Chain A
Amino acid sequence: MSNYWERYAVRRISRRRLLYGSGVAGAGLAGLALAGCGDDEEAPGGTQPPAGQTPGASPTAAPTEQPKRGGEVIFHLGGSPRSLDPHFDTFPYNTALTNNVYNGLYRFTPDLAEIVTDLATALPENPDQLTWVVKIHQGVKFHNVDPANGRELTAEDVKYSIERQSTNEPGKFQHAYFFLGKLDGIDTPDKYTVVFRTKRPYAPMMSYLASPWTLIINRETVEKYGDLTQHAVGTGPFIFKEWQKDVHMKAERNPDYWKQGLPYVDRVTWLFATDPDTAATMFIQKQVHAVIVSQPQLDRVRSARKDANYKAVPSQFWRQMRMPPTTKDQPYQPPFSDPRFRQAVVQAVNPEQVLDLVYAGDGVRAFGPILPIYEYWALPEELPEHKFDLANAKKLMQAAGVTSFRGPMIWATNPQADQIGEILKQQLAQIGVEVELQPMELAAYYNQTYSYKYTFSHHVPLNNPDPDENLSSYFGRNSTYYKHYNEEIFDLIDQQSQELDRERRRALVLEAQRKIVLDFPMKFMFTTNLHEFTDPAVKGWFYHTDLYDGRIETLWLDL
Chain B
Amino acid sequence: MTEYVIRRLLLAIPTVLLVMFATFMLLRLVPGDLVELMMAENPYATEEDRARIERELGLDKPIPQQFAVYLGKVLRGDFGHSPWTGRSVASELQDRLPVTVEFGFMAILIGLIIALPVGILSAVRQDTLADYAARSFAILALSVPYFFTALLLIVFPSTWWGWSPPLTYKPWSAGPIDHLYYYFWPALLLGVGLAGSVMRMTRTMMLEVLRQDYIRTAWAKGLRERAIITRHALKNALIPVVTIVGLQVGTALGGTIILESIFNIPGVGRYFIGAIFQRDYPSVQGVVLVLAVIVVLVNIVVDLTYGWLDPRIRYG
Q: Do chains A and B touch in the complex (CB under 8 A)?
A: yes
Q: Does A450 lie within 8 Å of B164, measured CB to CB?
A: no
Contact residues in A for B33 (Cβ distance below 8 Å): 443-444, 446-447
DSSP majority for the A interface?
A: loop
A22 to B277 Cα, complex, angstroms: 8
A82 to B271 Cα, complex, angstroms: 12
Q: Does B43 lie within 8 Å of A24, measured CB to CB?
A: no
| Contact mask for chain B residues 37-50; partner A; CB cutoff 8 A; 1 contact, 0 none | 11111111110010
Q: A82-B84, A90-B41, A480-B45 are in contact. Are A171 and B258 (CB under 8 A)?
A: no
Contact residues in A for B92 (Cβ distance below 8 Å): 245
Q: Does A177 lie within 8 Å of B43, measured CB to CB?
A: yes
Min CB distance A227 to B, Å, is 6
Contact residues in B for A442 (Cβ distance below 8 Å): 37, 277
Instruction: For B49, give its contact among A16, A173, A229, A443 (CB under 8 Å).
Output: A173
Q: Does B86 lie within 8 Å of A278, measured CB to CB?
A: no
Question: Which residues of chain B (203-240) have a CB below 8 Å from chain A?
Answer: none
Contact residues in A for B158 (Cβ distance below 8 Å): 280-281, 284-285, 300, 304
Query: B273: CB under 8 A from chain A?
Result: yes
Q: How many residues of A contact B (CB 8 A)?
A: 57
Q: A22-B273, A83-B86, A244-B266 are in contact. Are A443 and B41 (CB under 8 A)?
A: no
Q: A170-B57, A277-B155, A278-B154 are in contact. Are A480 and B38 (CB under 8 A)?
A: no
Query: B85: CB under 8 A from chain A?
Result: yes
A295 to B54 Cα, complex, angstroms: 40
A8 to B39 Cα, complex, angstroms: 30
Question: Which residues of chain A (15-38) have a CB below 8 Å from chain B?
Answer: 15-17, 19, 21-22, 24-25
Query: A330: CB under 8 A from chain B?
Result: no
Q: Does A15 lie within 8 Å of B87, measured CB to CB?
A: no
Q: Does A481 lie within 8 Å of B169, measured CB to CB?
A: no
Query: B95: CB under 8 A from chain A?
Result: yes
A383 to B170 Cα, complex, angstroms: 55
Query: A176: CB under 8 A from chain B?
Result: yes
A174 to B53 Cα, complex, angstroms: 13
Q: A247-B266, A443-B277 are in contact. Are A16 and B41 (CB under 8 A)?
A: yes
Q: Does A17 lie within 8 Å of B43, measured CB to CB?
A: no
Contact residues in A for B266 (Cβ distance below 8 Å): 244-247
Q: Does B85 lie within 8 Å of A170, measured CB to CB?
A: no
Query: A6: CB under 8 A from chain B?
Result: no
Q: A15-B41, A24-B258, A170-B56 are in contact. Are A247 and B46 (CB under 8 A)?
A: no
Query: A528: CB under 8 A from chain B?
Result: no
Query: A274: CB under 8 A from chain B?
Result: yes
Q: A83-B86, A90-B41 are in contact. Are A281 and B277 (CB under 8 A)?
A: no
Q: A24-B273, A171-B83, A277-B151 are in contact. Are A15 and B43 (CB under 8 A)?
A: yes
Q: A83-B85, A443-B36 are in contact. Are A278 and B43 (CB under 8 A)?
A: no
Q: A245-B95, A285-B162, A443-B37 are in contact. Are A230 and B43 (CB under 8 A)?
A: no
**Range for the number of chain B residues in contact with chain A:** 35 or more
Residue of B nearest to A22 (CB): B277
Query: A232: CB under 8 A from chain B?
Result: no
A304 to B92 Cα, complex, angstroms: 37
Question: Which residues of chain B (259-290) have a CB below 8 Å from chain A?
Answer: 261-266, 270-271, 273-274, 277-279
Q: Does A177 lie within 8 Å of B273, measured CB to CB?
A: no
Q: Does A177 lie within 8 Å of B42, measured CB to CB?
A: yes
Query: B52: CB under 8 A from chain A?
Result: yes
Query: B159: CB under 8 A from chain A?
Result: yes
Contact residues in B for A83 (Cβ distance below 8 Å): 84-87
Q: Does B169 lie within 8 Å of A247, measured CB to CB?
A: yes
Contact residues in A for B49 (Cβ distance below 8 Å): 168, 170, 173
Contact residues in A for B57 (Cβ distance below 8 Å): 170
A272 to B151 Cα, complex, angstroms: 18
Contact residues in B for A248 (Cβ distance below 8 Å): 168-169
Query: A273: CB under 8 A from chain B?
Result: yes
Q: Does A17 lie within 8 Å of B41, measured CB to CB?
A: yes
Min CB distance A370 to B, Å, is 15
Query: B167: CB under 8 A from chain A?
Result: yes
Question: Which residues of chain A (478-513) have a CB below 8 Å from chain B?
Answer: 478-481
Listed A/B pairs (24) with beta-carbon separation below 8 Å: A15-B42, A19-B277, A168-B52, A174-B41, A227-B86, A246-B264, A246-B265, A246-B270, A247-B264, A247-B266, A271-B168, A274-B264, A275-B154, A277-B155, A278-B263, A281-B154, A281-B155, A282-B168, A285-B164, A304-B158, A304-B162, A443-B34, A443-B278, A481-B43
**Top 6 A-B pairs ranked by shortest CB distance?**
A473-B43, A246-B266, A170-B53, A443-B33, A446-B36, A281-B158
